[in-house]
Chain A
Amino acid sequence: AQSVSQHNHHVILSEAASLELGCNYSYGGTVNLFWYVQYPGQHLQLLLKYFSGDPLVKGIKGFEAEFIKSKFSFNLRKPSVQWSDTAEYFCAVSDSWGKLQFGAGTQVVVTP
Chain B
Amino acid sequence: EAGVAQSPRYKIIEKRQSVAFWCNPISGHATLYWYQQILGQGPKLLIQFQNNGVVDDSQLPKDRFSAERLKGVDSTLKIQPAKLEDSAVYLCASSLEPGPYEQYFGPGTRLTVT
Give chain A's interface residues, CB within 8 Å of chain B: 4, 9, 32, 43-46, 49, 51, 90, 92, 94-105
Contacts and interface: CB of A to CB of B under 8 A. Distances in A.
B43 interface: yes
Given A45-B105, A51-B100, A97 B42 contact: no
Given A43-B105, A44-B91, A44-B105, A97 B98 contact: yes
A35 B107 CA distance: 18
Interface of B: 3-4, 31, 33, 35, 40-45, 48, 55-56, 91, 93, 95, 98-108
Given A95-B100, A98-B95, A100-B33, 4 more contacts: A45-B105, A98-B100, A101-B45, A105-B42
B102 A104 contact: no
A104 B99 contact: no
B42 A90 contact: yes
Contacts of A96: 99-100
